[in-house]
Chain A
Amino acid sequence: MVHYKLTYFDTRGIAEAIRVLMKYANIDFEDNRFKVEDWPKIKPTTPTGKVPILEFDGNYLIESAAICRYLARKHGLAGKGDLEEAKVDAIVDQHKDFFSQSFSWLMIKFGREEGDEEEQKKTKFLPAAEIYLPLYQKYLKESGSGFLVKSGLTFADFIVSEFLITLRLNAPEIIEKYPEILQYIDRMKNIPQLKEYYATRKE
């Protein structure tokens, strides 16, 4: 059996989708978490200076979406058929664009960067939210599955839902305008294999 070791900050961040996927698929893994202040010490011990990093069998992978896709493909979580796989990939790419518009605002809000939080929220995050939140809502309405694509749960759901949870924590008034999105987050949190994990983890 493959021994997986995931290294990331002791937060949800961009690694939580990987953790949730592994929990869902019942894959044992070493959840190697470090405190933010220890990052300068940990960084030189990693192959590329980047986290999340997944190590296994003398190999390593970086980039959260690439790691998710790699694991997802092995566990029926990448979409059914090449066309749906491409739609899943497209949703994850769109998430990355939304994320990059939101990043500065969140980093300032979390105290990890200097800057004008309200300015970033107004000029970058909110215009992006006006584009991407309706888009996710549309995917959810159209899929018929309760998840982002027709065949059901995929790694796109783990990635996107984590981000939506973060947005709800930091801009609840924005997320609460989208009922399908709120129901979707509930639906994710009630997936039988994950219910206990979601209920007990630190958010």
Chain B
Amino acid sequence: MVHYKLTYSDGRGLGEAIRLIFKYANIDFEDVRFKAEDWQKVKATTPTGKVPLLEFDGNYLVESAAICRYLARKHSLAGKGDLEEAKVDAVVDQYKDFLAQSLPWLMIKFGLEKGDDEEQKKTKFLPAAEIYLPLFQKYLKESGSGFLVKSGLTFADFIVSEFLITLRQNDPEVLDKYPEILQYLDRMKNIPQLKEYYATRKE
């Protein structure tokens, strides 16, 4: 059996979607978490200076979406058929663009960068939210599955839902205009294999 070791900071961030895939698919893994103040020490021990980092069988992978896709393909969480796989990939790419517009605001809000968080929120995050939140809502309405694509749960759901949870934590009203999204987050949190994990983890 493959021994997986995931290294990431002791928070949800970009690592949580990977942890959720492991939990959902019932794959044992070593969940190595470090505190922010220990990053420089940990960084020096990693192959590329980047986390999340997945190590197994003498190999390693970086980049959260690539890691998710790798695991998802092995556990029927990547979409059904090549066309749907490409749609899943497209949803994840769109999330990445939304994340890029939101990071300046979030990094200031988390105290990780200096700046005017209201300014970044107004000029970067909110315009992006006006584009991407309706888009995710549209995917949810059209799929008929309760998840982002037609065949059901995929790694795109783990990635996107985690980000939506983070947005709601930092701007409690941002999702209020999107009832399907709020229902979707409840639906994710009630997936039987994950219910207990979601209920007890640190958010």
A interface residue numbers (CB < 8 A to B): 59, 61-63, 65-67, 69-70, 73-74, 82-83, 85-87, 89-90, 93-94, 96, 100
- A86–B94 contact, CB under 8 A? no
Q: Are A70 and B82 in contact (CB under 8 A)?
A: yes
Q: Which of A73, A74, A86, A100 touches B66 (beta carbons < 8 Å)?
A: A86
Q: Roughly how many angstroms separate A65 CA and B86 CA in the complex, as a whole number?
A: 9
Given contacts A70-B85, A82-B74, contact A89 B69 (CB under 8 A): yes
Q: A61-B87, A82-B74 are in contact. Are A93 and B94 (CB under 8 A)?
A: no
The distance in angstroms between the C-alpha atoms of A66 and B78, with both chains bound, is 13
CA distance A89 to B61 in the complex (A): 10
The interface on chain B, measured as residues whose beta carbon lies within 8 A of the other chain's beta carbons, has a size of 23
User: Min CB distance, B137 to chain A, in Å?
Assistant: 14
The answer, among B62, B70, B82, B93, for a CB contact under 8 Å with A65, is B93
Q: Would A90 and B61 be within 8 Å (CB), given that A59-B83, A70-B82, A70-B85 are in contact? A: yes
Query: CA separation between A27 and B67, bound complex, in Å?
Result: 30
Binding site for A on B (CB under 8 A): 59, 61-63, 65-67, 69-70, 73-74, 82-83, 85-87, 89-90, 93-94, 96-97, 100
Interchain residue pairs with CB less than 8 A apart (13):
A59-B83, A61-B83, A63-B94, A66-B93, A69-B86, A70-B82, A73-B82, A83-B61, A86-B61, A89-B69, A89-B70, A90-B66, A93-B96
Chain B neighbourhood of A89, CB < 8 A: 63, 65-66, 69-70
Of B85, B89, B94, most A-chain CB atoms within 10 Å: B89
A61 CB contact (under 8 Å) in B59, B69, B70, B86:
B86
Ranked nearest first, the 4 interchain pairs of A and B with the lowest CB-CB distance are: A89-B66, A66-B89, A63-B90, A90-B63
B66 and A83 within 8 A (CB): no
Tell me if A's interface is mostly helix, strand, loop or mixed: helix
**Closest chain A CB from B51 CB (angstroms):** 13
Give bound CA distance, A87 to B67, whole Å.
Answer: 9
A86:B70 contact, CB within 8 angstroms = yes
Tell me, rounded to whole Å, the shortest Cβ–Cβ distance linking B149 to chain A. 12
Determine the residue in chain A with the shortest Cβ distance to B138: A48
B residues less than 8 Å from A87 (CB atoms): 61, 66
Does B100 contact A100, Cβ atoms closer than 8 Å? yes
Known: A70-B82, A74-B82, A82-B70. A62 touches B90 (CB 8 A): yes
User: Knowing A83-B59, A86-B61, A90-B62 touch, does A67 contact B69 (C-beta < 8 A)?
Assistant: no
Inter-subunit contact A65/B89 (CB<8 Å): yes
Residue of B nearest to A64 (CB): B93
Q: For residue A74, which residues in chain B have a CB less than 8 angstroms away from its CB?
A: 82
Distance from B114 Cβ to chain A, minimum over Cβ atoms (Å): 13
User: Least Cβ distance of B53 to chain A in Å?
Assistant: 11
Contact status B66-A93, CB under 8 Å: yes
Distance of A74 Cα from B86 Cα, bound (Å): 12
Cα A74 to Cα B83 in complex, Å, equals 11
CB distance from A143 to the nearest CB of B (A): 15
Partner of A63, one of B66, B70, B89: B89
Partner of B86, one of A67, A86, A96, A100: A67
